[in-house]
Amino acid sequence: MFKSKPSLVILAAGMASRYGGNKQIESFGPSGETIMEYSIYDAIKAGYGKVIFIIREEFSDSFKAAIEPKLKGKIELEYVYQSLDKYSGGRAIPQARVKPFGTQHALLCCKDVLDAPFSVINADDFYGFDAFKQSFDFLSNGIEDGKYACVGYELKNTLSDNGSVTRGEINVNADGNIIGITERKEIYKKDGKAFTKIAGADLELALDTKVSMNFFCFTPAFVNWSELEYYKFLDANLDDLKAEFLIPEVTDTLINSGKGAVKVIPTEARWFGVTFKEDAPIVKAQLQKLSDQGVYPANLWEREVLSVVDQGA
């Protein structure tokens, strides 16, 4: 049994090439909040004890300057730097490689600081409080190594009007456990339907398809296990300058190799995020609406955030 409260790991080292800017620290909320601040607010409210940011060292100063004054004293903070040379096992990284090696490599960079069950999320996605409350409950109720979870969203609630997206399509058995995660790339909306490209042809996807938004619940054992998988990945893909070691695909490997099980946690929360620059005004309007409705304060950090766990809820 783990003694520490669950941690929240935030993936903030991506290059945001489709967005064209450092969206991780861009202001979206009514009082200049970043999107990830809403996730942190909801995580504190749900009962999480620590936030671990995975960032690139070259923008650590600007990142910390934007985040720390707001969060000081509200939750424990820790930083991990993702770089191409970490966990390379002595392999020579091609000089032309610029893009990070993906989300599971980012998690692997956390290996030495993880001391509790944790959830992992994207910095530029809004997930909603229900997702954090349900994930915290899962992580706090006797989670075991090899028995993990993924928060599942309906595909129709995760699409962008401004371009194609990548989503992990979740397939489950009768017990609600995932039997596979298929990484679907170039998913786009057309005439009220969703499609993806398969070998150059359009394949329609059901709008209620459960998809992964990179909101997973693990123990540190999952990260330890993935290290050897990463070395296999590098040996097979080192010269592919765009290849990525991704959480959904590694999770799929875990399941299909019989090394673990992953259940789906369905959530009523609505997702939204910024993939393209054109998404920004939509996200700002949605956050303003939630503030106007009283779901969130106009300034997230003007007062103490009370955990529902500490309140005995």
Q: Report pLDDT for 234.
A: 97
> Which is more confident, 253 or 309?
253
Residue 154 has pLDDT above 70, yes or no: yes
- Cβ atoms of 251 and 216 within 8 Å: the answer is yes
- Cβ atoms of 49 and 94 within 8 Å: the answer is no
CATH no., domain 7-150+213-292: 3.90.550.10
> Which is more confident, 6 or 168?
6
Residue 223 has pLDDT above 60, yes or no: yes
Q: What residue ranges do the domains of the chain occupy? A: 7-150+213-292
Q: Report pLDDT for 247.
A: 93
Residue 32 has pLDDT above 90, yes or no: yes
- Helices assigned H by DSSP within the chain: 35-46, 60-71, 103-108, 129-140, 220-237, 247-256, 280-292
Report which DSSP code applies to 131: H
Residue 231 has pLDDT above 60, yes or no: yes
Give Cα separations from 174 to 46, 207, 210, 248, 303 (angstroms).
Answer: 29, 20, 14, 20, 44
pLDDT band at 310 (very low <50, low <70, confident <90, very high): low
Average pLDDT value for the chain: 90
